A and B are shown apart, each in its own frame.
Chain A
Amino acid sequence: MNILYQIFIDPLVQMGTAPDLLVQTLWEGLVAGVLYALIALGFVLIFKASGVFNFAQGIMVVFAALTLVGLYERGVPAFVALGLTIVVMLGLAFAIERLMLRPLVNQPDIILFMATFGLTYILIGLGEMIFGGDPKVMITDALYLPRGAIDVKMLGGFVSLQKIDIAAAIIASIMVAGLAVFFQKTRIGRALRAVADSHKAALSVGISLEQIWVVVWFAAGIVALATGIMWGARSNVSFALEIIALKALPVLILGGFTSIPGAIIGGVIIGIGEKLGEFYWGPLLGSGIESWLAYVIALIFLLFRPQGLFGERIIERI
C-alpha cells in the first residue's frame, strides 16, 4: 500500500505543491530534449538520404566541437575557427564518401551500419590524438553566445532559464525549419529523398550518388557542429558526450527514422520524460535512472506501435 502511494500519489503531490519546480523540471527536460533532437536530426538526415544508420553521429558532435575549441586554443580567432571547422566537416564528408560509402555502395544496410562503428573508432582515436582527452571548455563568449540566466517569477516561486538554452532552442528551430523546407522544396532535397528510397532507381535517373552523399554528410556535420557548440556551452566538451549520443536512439524510435519534425517531437518527449522521471521518481528507485529511462520509455512505446510514433508502417508484400 505504501509502495503504491509512493509511486502514484507522492510524486503528483510534489508536483502540485511546488509548481515552479515542476516548470523548472519541464524546462530542463525541454532543453535536454532539444539537444537530443539535434543529434537525432543528424541521424535522420543521413538515414533519410542514404539509408545508413550513422552510429558515428555522436562522435561527430564531439569531433566538431573539439576541432573548434582546439583551433581556438591554438590562437585562431573564434569565427575563423568556426569557418575552418566547417571546412573540416566538409573534408570529413568527402573522405567518408570516398573511402567508406563508395566502396560499400551495394551492401546491405547492416554492413553500412557496422562500417559507421569503424568510423566512430577512427574519429575517437583521431580526436584524442590531435586534441587530447581532457574535457575542454566551449568558447561561448568568443562566439557571442549569451551567458547567464533569466529568472522568471511565477507560480509562487521562480523559474530560472539559462539564456544559452533559449538560444539553443531558437537555433534548433531555425535549423529544423530550414532543413524541412530544403527537403521538401528544393531539387537537391528531392534527389536526397530519391536516393533514400532506392539507390539503383536514383542512379538510373541520373542522380549522382556521390554528390548527394557528400551534401548530406556535410549537412549532418554542420548539425553536429551546432549540437556540439550548444552542448559544450552547457557542460564541457568531452568524449563522454559520445555515449549520451546513444540517447538519440530512443528519440528516433519515437520520432521515426526519417521524419525531421519527428526528431524534434521525439527529442522533447524523451527529454521531458527523462527529467520528470529522474526528479520525481528517481529518489524512489535510486539515482541515475536517467541512464536507462529513455530506453525503457522507447521500449514501451514500441510495444504499442512497433514502427514508432511517426514511422511508416512497413507493409510486407508477399
Chain B
Amino acid sequence: MLYREAGQYKTSYAADQAVFPILQDRIGLVAILLIAFVVIPISGSEFLLQAMMIPILVMGLAAIGLNLLIGYTGLISLGTGAFMGVGAYACYKLATLFPGVNILIWVIASGLAAAGVGVLFGLPSLRIKGFYLAVATLAAQFFLSWCFIRVPWLYNYNISASIEVPTRTFLGIPVTGPTATPVTRYLVVLTIVVVMTWLASNLVHGRIGRMWMAVRDMDIAAELIGIKLYRTKLLAFAVSSFYCGVAGAMLAFLWLGAAESESFNINQSFLVLFMVIIGGLGSLTGSFFGAIFIWGLPIVLRNAPGVFGLSITAATIEHITFMTVGALIIFFLIVEPAGLARLWQIAKQKLRVWPFPY
C-alpha cells in the first residue's frame, strides 16, 4: 500500500535508468540522510558516535572497496587490511611532511597511494585466477604488514612503532588529534563516506560496473564483446584499493587517532570480508548492512549481559561473541547466501504488496 510504484511512469530512458527510480526509495534516502546529518549529531551520545557510528562508516567504506573487487568483479582479495594500512601511513607521512595542507586533501590523496599499491599487487591477476589470486593478495597483506613495522620512516622513527595523529583543523575547527570532538569527526567521516558511496554507485550503474560484472560472470564472454580484461581488472584493484586506503586514513585520523601495524593485519582483512559476505556480495547497501551487523553485534553481545543483570566475565563474552559471529555467518550462508542486502530486497518486495500476502 505504501510502497507501490503504481502511477510512477517513466517517460524517458534517463528517468528509468536513475539509481532510485521509485519515489518511496528516494524519500527513504532523504530521510536517512537527514537522520544521519542532523538527528544523530544532535542527540547521539559520545559513545554512540565514537564506538558505533564512526567505525561503522569507516568499515562500511572499506567494505564497499572490497565489495567492488569481490562482489562486482569477482576477484578474491585478502589484502584489505594492508591496503587500508597503506592509506593510513601515506596520510600520516603526507600530513607530517606538509603540515600546512588541508588534512582532507591528504586523506583523499592517501587513497591514491593505496590505489597505486593495489594496482601493483593486482598485476598478477592477468595470469592468476580465483583462489590462487587470493593467495597473491595474502602476499601483499603479509608483506605490507611487515613493512609497517620494519620501515621506520613510515612512522617517523617513533619508538613505539605506531603513528600518533597530529592535530589538524578545517575551517578553524580541529578535526583530527586529541582536541577534535566526536561530533566533528563524525560529520567529516559521514560527508566523505556519503560522497564516496555516491561515486561508487555511479560507477557500478554505468558502463564500468557492467564491465566488472561481465568479467565476474564469464570473462571469456567479456573478452568476446571487446572488453579488455586486464585493464578492467586493474581498474577494479585501483578503485577498490582507493576506497580501502581512504577508509584506512580515516581509521587512523578520524576514528582512533592512532594506528600501528596490528590495526591493519590479516584479522582486519577477514573482518571486512565477513562484512561483505554477510552484507551481500555485489551490493553497496549490503556493504553497510554488513558493517552494521559485524561491528554492532559484538558490541550488543558485550553489553547485553549487563542490561539483563547477568554477570559474565569479559573473556567469556569474547568467546561467546566469536562463536555467535561464526554461527551467524554459517546461518546466513544457509538461509540467504546473497546476504542481508537480498533479505532487504525481499522485504521490500513484500512491502510492495502489503497488506496483501502476494
Contacts and interface: CB of A to CB of B under 8 A. Distances in A.
Q: Do chains A and B touch in the complex (CB under 8 A)?
A: yes
Nearest to B150: A286
Contacts of B329: 114-115, 117-118, 121
Interface string B305-336: 00000000001101111111111111001100
A102 to B, nearest CB: 10
B179 to A, nearest CB: 36
Contacts of A249: 135, 138
Nearest to B328: A118
Interface residues of A, number: 46
Contact of B333 (A111, A121, A128, A243): A111
A302 B330 contact: no
B270 interface: yes
Interface of B: 76, 124, 127-129, 131-132, 135-136, 138-139, 142-143, 145-146, 149-150, 220, 266, 270, 273-274, 277, 315-316, 318-330, 333-334, 337
A291 interface: yes
B143 A243 contact: no
Given A111-B333, A299-B124, A302-B135, A289 B146 contact: yes
A115 B320 CA distance: 18
B333 A292 contact: no
Contacts of B142: 291-292, 295
B330 A119 contact: yes
Nearest to B129: A306
Contact of A296 (B143, B220, B321, B328): B143
Given A129-B319, A292-B146, A115 B330 contact: yes
A160 to B, nearest CB: 29
B150 A53 contact: no
Nearest to A127: B319
Q: At the interface, is chain A mostly helix, strand, loop or mixed? A: helix
Contacts of B277: 114, 117
Nearest to A304: B127
Given A117-B270, A118-B328, A125-B322, A303 B127 contact: yes
Interface of A: 53, 99-100, 103-104, 107, 110-111, 114-115, 117-126, 128-129, 133, 243, 246, 249-250, 253, 257, 285-286, 288-289, 291-292, 295-296, 298-299, 302-303, 306-308, 316, 318
Among B277, B320, B326, residue most surrounded by chain A Cβ atoms (within 10 Å): B326
Given A118-B329, A249-B135, A103 B334 contact: yes
A126 B325 CA distance: 12
Given A122-B330, A125-B326, A129-B316, 11 more contacts: A115-B329, A117-B273, A122-B323, A128-B322, A246-B138, A250-B135, A291-B145, A291-B146, A299-B135, A302-B132, A316-B220
A292 B323 contact: no
Contacts of A257: 131
A161 B327 CA distance: 44
Nearest to B267: A243
Contacts of B316: 129
A118 B330 contact: yes
Contacts of B146: 288-289, 291-292
B302 to A, nearest CB: 13
A220 B325 CA distance: 24
4 nearest A-B residue pairs (beta carbon) = A121-B326, A125-B322, A118-B329, A125-B323
Contact of B135 (A124, A128, A253): A253
A125 B127 CA distance: 38
A246 B143 CA distance: 14
Contacts of B266: 243, 246
B326 A118 contact: yes
Contacts of B143: 292, 295-296
A253 B127 CA distance: 14
B333 A126 contact: no
A182 to B, nearest CB: 25
B115 to A, nearest CB: 20
Contacts of B138: 246, 249, 295
- Please indicate which of the listed interface residues A107, A302, A303 has the most CB atoms of chain B within 10 Å of its own CB: A302
A306 B132 contact: yes
B139 A107 contact: no
Contacts of A123: 326
